[in-house]
Amino acid sequence: MTRRSVILGCGSYLPATIVTNDDLAKRVDTSDEWIRRRTGIRSRHIAAHDETTSDLALAAAHDALNNAGINADTLDMIVVATTTPDNTFPATAVKIQAALGLSHGFAFDVQAVCSGFVYALAVADNFIRVGQAKRALVIGAETFSRLLDWNDRTTCVLFGDGAGAIILEASTGIGDSSDRGILSTHLHSDGHHYNSLCTNGGPGSTGTVGHVRMEGQEVFRHAVKHLSEVVDEALATNNLTPDQINWLVPHQANQRIIDGTAKKLNMPPERVVTTIADHANTSAASIPLALATAAKDGRLKQGQIVLLDAMGGGFTWGAAVVRW
């Protein structure tokens, strides 16, 4: 018998304000045509001034708990993947713990930027597998708009705010890919690329939060390569062939990167969950937002194989194979 983490439910939250490409074209020298053609993005949600990452995360958490049909007090672990915590410390996760009325169990944040959700999923899965947790709330939440330089057209058009959450529960399987739950997770990083996608500040260096700086083409090139490699690794680990994957739910950074991975897997667009057009890149929130979208509209069905992949600053990248 093998201990597995099964996804009991998922939830999401998007701030009410929608900013279109045309809205941005009034602020910087860009166009709806350029943004759509180069990225696939049409619009993004932006948090209100008084809305914090924990507000978004809590709304997604309530939605996930409701979707799973469980009470918050049955959780024993909360992990929040975020690059934009409410405060430098404590972790946003402990704020969620308190807001859910809990003082048992443990809560902490994970920081792997756009790969954050895959990292948090792997961490929670491993805690469950070794028996240190039974029910985990895993959230990806970002107010990435707070890190943007709204005068820099090369970055400000790419990102949005939002939160997604899932509930994991310990179960037992036989140890092969016929089991339900997380079948495998695959994490990688290469810190030599620290400066290719970063903020130009931080609490331990400038004492400021800083703004996003990105060498777009460099990130693009590495994303295509690393995602291709990690997807191969994930399939090989589970003895799966691409045709056995029902759904690809990728990090939503650029439609062209998503299309590249789908093409490699020979997956038609109908089997790829994309939210980038309306959400833009919500960093750690993008995969759980996409999962919640596809679960709620009935695309993800019990027993199907779902492949997640992500790449972000660091560089960090990773993948997960889940039987829904």
Nearer to ligand UT7, 31 or 177 (CB): 31
The answer to whether the CB of 83 falls within 8 A of the CB of 117 is: no
Nearest residue (CB) to ligand UT7, 145 versus 281: 281
Residue at 39: amino acid letter: T
114 binds ligand UT7 (CB under 6 A): yes
Active site residue 200: no
What CA–CA distances, in Å, run from 211 to 56, 109, 197, 198, 215?
A: 21, 21, 11, 8, 13
Cα gap 96→44, rounded to integer Å: 24
Other Cβ atoms closer than 10 A to 1: 7
Binders in 198-257 for ligand UT7, by CB under 6 A: 216-217, 219-220, 223, 253-254, 257
Count of residues engaged in binding ligand UT7, rule: CB under 6 A: 20
Q: Which two tokens stand for residue 318?
A: 């990773």
Q: Catalytic annotation on 114?
A: yes
Q: Are 164 and 285 in contact (CB under 8 A)?
A: yes
Interface with ligand UT7, residue 30, by CB under 6 A = yes
71 is a catalytic site residue = no
Q: How far apart are CA 63 and CA 141, in angstroms?
A: 14
- Considering only residues 8 to 27 of the shown chain, the ones binding ligand UT7 according to CB under 6 A are none
Q: Shortest gap between Cβ of 291 and ligand UT7 (angstroms)? A: 17
Binder to ligand UT7 among 17, 20, 154, 237 (CB under 6 A)? 154
Active-site position among 211, 226, 251, 279: 251
Q: How far is the CB of 39 from ligand UT7 (least distance, A)?
A: 5
Residue of 114, 156, 186, 211 marked catalytic: 114
Identity of the residue, 220 or 324, whose beta carbon is nearer to ligand UT7 in the bound complex: 220
Sign of the CA dihedral with 186 first, then 187, 192, and 195 last = positive
Judge contact between 70 and 174, C-beta under 8 A. Answer: no
Positions of E strands within the chain: 2-13, 17-20, 43-46, 77-81, 106-110, 135-143, 161-173, 181-189, 197-199, 212-214, 247-250, 305-312, 316-323
Residues between 256 and 315 that touch ligand UT7 (CB under 6 A): 257, 281, 311-312
State the minimum distance, in angstroms, from the CB of residue 103 to ligand UT7.
Answer: 35
Which entry of 21, 238, 254, 281 is annotated as an active-site residue?
Answer: 281
Nearest residue to ligand UT7 on Cβ basis: 216
Just list the catalytic residues: 114, 251, 281
Q: Footprint of ligand UT7 on this chain (CB under 6 A)? A: 30, 34-35, 38-39, 114, 153-154, 157, 216-217, 219-220, 223, 253-254, 257, 281, 311-312
